[in-house]
Amino acid sequence: SKLAASQGDELANQAVDVGGLKVLAAVLEGADVPTLRDTMDKLKDKLKSAVVVLGSAEGADKVTVIAGVTADLIAKVKAGEIVAAVAAQVGGKGGGRPDMAQGGGTQPAQLDAA
């Protein structure tokens, strides 16, 4: 939770405009699933209208990816589709609701590129 709070402001400033949507994609080294979710929620609150994709690698063979989409953008972008696409690039799969989704993979070396 402290990691999420301390990195939230710094990460929010890294959001970029992609086709008129605010998009933030980041890797949080050593973050577990609750930390990724907490950070995603804080970033969605801070950015107000955005797509947030966070990833973390654990060891040599585990990747966790989480995506969040603010309510105003769900008609355009689905978190489950984003996670499925990113997880596929790290040797895994994932899915979930339009506003929040989670996935994983087995190729941490591919996380930055994904």
pLDDT value of residue 68: 97
**Cβ atoms of residues 53 and 77 within 8 Å:** no
Q: Say if residue 5's pLDDT is above 80.
A: no
Q: Report the SS3 class of residue 100.
A: strand
pLDDT value of residue 51: 97
- How are beta strands 16-18 and 100-105 bridged, if at all? unpaired
pLDDT digits (tens, 9 = 90+) for 58-79: 888 999 999 999 999 999 999 9
Nearest to 26 by CA among 45, 38, 41, 39: 39
Average pLDDT, the chain: 91
Quick one: what percent of the chain has pLDDT higher than 90? 76
Six token digits for residue 17:
């405009």
pLDDT value of residue 1: 58
